[in-house]
Structure 1
Amino acid sequence: MPKFAANLTMLYNELPFLDRFEAAAKSGFKGVEFLFPYAHGAELIRDKALQAGVQIVLHNLPAGDWDAGERGIACLPARVAEFREGVAKAIDYARVLGVTQLNCLAGKAPAGADPAALRSTFVDNLRYAAAQLAPHGIRLLIEPINTYDIPGFYLNRTAQALSIMDEVGSDNLFLQYDIYHMQRTEGELAATMQKQLARIAHLQLADNPGRNEPGTGEINYRFLFQHIDAIGYTGWIGCEYKPKTTTTAGLGWLSAL
């Protein structure tokens, strides 16, 4: 049976962030994830999760100015010092929160940027981050994201991510495979998950089109959940979708599928 974690950035967003832990627990979720914890103290977030009885399974490294449209800085040559500061901050939070996986968003490639410089910067930053996280028992993840939703996003295909992981050469770097993003970009969901199972540390889901809950679009989640079980995936699946109405009203898929 897959283990589902509520993405608290996307779900229960009618509630203040710190109230979403309890709401997720009441819906039956045992795990939660979110994009960023940095607007709140780590101890406060930890206490909310403990009170709700949920495990925090994932959050992201700092990703630049999100409100201004930035979606990561890891590939940007001029932001290396800021990236490294963010790694230290993320480790501090993860240690308090008991988080053992941190996702690194690559960022958007600036128009006219040298592709070789972007890749070299990304590789060097990942090598640094993976080495910094390892002594704390924290795995580093990278996530390909479709360029329909985020035009210009640097890391956008599975093969590209695997090639970069090979170049980094760290045994502490893994793939975060988002079913929604990869359906939009390349398809071949079941075959890719099976082939790359050893390199996938975390899955995320949403249906397509619309990025809504499973069962609202074209992805055969009944088949995929059975397939994920059959191939032996034992990690978490983050529910990173936009509820069509409210989170609670849209949770029928959990029992239906």
Structure 2
Amino acid sequence: MKFSANLGFLWADRPLPDAIRAAHAAGFDAVECHWPYAVPADAVKAALDETGLPLLGLNTVRGNPGENGLSALPGRAADARAAVDQAIAYADATGCGAIHVMAGFAEGPEAHAAFLDTLRHARAQAPDTITLLIEPLNRHDAPGYFLKTTDQAAAILSELDLPGIKLMFDCYHVGRTEGDITTRLKALLPIVGHVQFASLPDRGAPDHGEVHYPYVFDAIAAMGWDRPLGAEYKPGGPTEDTLGWLRR
């Protein structure tokens, strides 16, 4: 298996270029992040070039406090498009392969229409080298988030019927909301663009909790998935102290 370090959580106490270097030293095959925009893109690109690690993904901005994304918010189309354009520019400058288009807290037909409109804009603006990702968030951590389940996400992708827009399958979020992680992933695999993981229910390292990740990783490998899996967990201390699972 190959693994990607999500630097939104891992080595979050370091400047992003130094976190990239730390991930490389620890043996990760790639990196990803949340909101890198305060760091000049050329500094991130230099660290990526130095280490040889690809940047797999980043998120569109959350917006104002409490919004957690803009793309599904009725009446915020201009802001949502600006967030998408910002993400595309940063991804293009760093060679990043994917953008998670964050939906935000909203519900109802107007939110659904706003989300589709934003995604159509994003696909029209982004080069073919950038995959767009949508991700359901679990109801415990993000109550009221627009995108709630993998079924909802799959229906949206079917309605859009556009190339290069995929599902971000986060084993943590799916496990908290739907369960049956490996069965769900196998059924959805044709529309999955990236896979992430963390322990349940505390979102820690994948070496404890309700899910036995050695089994999950073996099952994913048996599905033929050969791209890096995203370690998006909260270390709760020095990241190096939580990497026993990676060494094993």
Q: Which whole-Å CA distance do the structure 2 matches of 1:147 and 1:69 have between them?
A: 15
Q: Which whole-Å CA distance do the structure 2 matches of 1:77 and 1:91 have between them?
A: 22
8 Å contact kept, 1:103–1:140: yes
Query: Sequence identity of aligned pairs in percent?
Result: 38
Report what 2:79 is aligned to.
82
Q: Which whole-Å CA distance do the structure 1 matches of 2:46 and 2:128 have between them?
A: 21
Report what 1:249 is aligned to.
241
Q: Which of 69, 73, 83 pairs up with 1:72?
A: 69
Report what 1:202 is aligned to.
194
Say whether 1:105 aligns with 2:98.
no
Spell out the pairing of 1:41-190 with structure 2 (5 A cutoff): 41-65=40-64, 68-109=65-106, 115-133=108-126, 135-190=127-182
Name the aligned partner's letter for residue 113 of structure 2: S
8 Å contact kept, 2:99–2:131: yes
**TM-score after normalising by structure 1:** 0.92
8 Å contact kept, 1:22–1:52: yes
Q: Which whole-Å CA distance do the structure 1 matches of 2:236 and 2:121 have between them?
A: 40
**TM-score after normalising by structure 2:** 0.96
**Structure 1: gaps (5+ residues):** none
Name the aligned partner's letter for residue 81 of structure 1: A
The offset of 1:236, in angstroms, is 2.3
Q: Which whole-Å CA distance do the structure 2 matches of 1:99 and 1:139 have between them?
A: 9
Spell out the pairing of 1:9-48 with structure 2 (5 A cutoff): 9-48=8-47
The offset of 1:181, in angstroms, is 0.5
**Per-residue CA distance 1:33-92 (angstroms, 9 max, x = gap):** 000121111111111222233211111122313xx2321011001111111112222111
Measured on the aligned residues, the alpha-carbon RMSD in Å equals 1.3
8 Å contact kept, 2:84–2:101: no
8 Å contact kept, 1:176–1:202: yes
Q: Which whole-Å CA distance do the structure 2 matches of 1:20 and 1:185 have between them?
A: 31
Q: Which whole-Å CA distance do the structure 2 matches of 1:72 and 1:64 have between them?
A: 6
The offset of 1:124, in angstroms, is 1.4
Q: Which whole-Å CA distance do the structure 2 matches of 1:194 and 1:254 have between them?
A: 23
8 Å contact kept, 1:131–1:172: no
Name the aligned partner's letter for residue 200 of structure 1: V
Larger CA deviation: 154-163 vs 89-98: 89-98
8 Å contact kept, 2:16–2:39: no
What secondary structure sits across from 2:157 in the alignment? helix
Q: Which whole-Å CA distance do the structure 1 matches of 2:39 and 2:49 have between them?
A: 16
What secondary structure sits across from 2:146 in the alignment? coil
8 Å contact kept, 1:83–1:125: yes
